[in-house]
Amino acid sequence: MTSAISLIEFYRRTMRQMEAMLDRWFLGLFARLVFLAVLVPYYLNSAFTKFDGPFAIADSAYYQIALPAVEAAGGDVSAISFFPWGLMVFFGSYGEFILPLLLVAGLFTRIAALGMIGFVIVQTLTDILVHNVDATTIGALFDRFPDSVILDQRLLWIFPLAYLFVKGAGLLSLDKLLCSIWSRRRAADEKSGRLSPTA
């Protein structure tokens, strides 16, 4: 009995030490590395198909993002109104390029993660409602098949993004660096009397 209690105490102590050692840096960094390894190449490749040159959005972006509007305009992209379709294509195209880079750098992480969660949801709805993917591609949750392209994969995509939205990028990030610089500057301003401590 004593040896079992000692073993349990050793386990608890070891887990507490490991948690303290990894806390505040490991999971944020790991979530960003998973995102970098699995999704960044996919999203950047997709983003590059939406541009003709550095800042010119290609017609293909409209076909990918706003197919109903393209069909309503008879395939003439120039006839599509900017509100709401052109605006959606603009934010979708640039968001697909900028948000992954912000997440990898750990810059404005929570906003970028929330933006990517929204992007994945809109992408999923577009695949289902606009591109009419079949039921096998959509798949189902809580079944014994973990490999559907839409529901299973996209839910797993969202998990690291949800972690980053809730907890942030952690110590090894540009967010932390900027926060440290801002805190030092604020402390210096308070010390010099240029800023009141309650401001």
Burial class (CB in 10 A: 0-12, 13-18, 19+), 91: middle
Q: How far apart are CA 139 and CA 147, in angstroms?
A: 8
Give the residue extent of every domain in the chain: 26-170
Residue pair 83/89 in contact by the 8 Å Cβ criterion: no
For residue 34, the one-letter residue type is: V
Tens digits of per-residue pLDDT, 38-53? 999 999 999 999 999 8
Tens digits of per-residue pLDDT, 105-155? 999 999 999 999 999 999 999 999 988 999 999 999 999 999 999 999 999
The whole-chain average pLDDT of the chain stands at 93
> Which percentage of the chain shows pLDDT scores above 90?
85
Residue pair 175/29 in contact by the 8 Å Cβ criterion: no
CA atoms within 13 A on the CB side of 150: 20
DSSP state of 79: G
Instruction: Give the pLDDT band of residue 195 (cuts 50, 70, 90).
Output: low
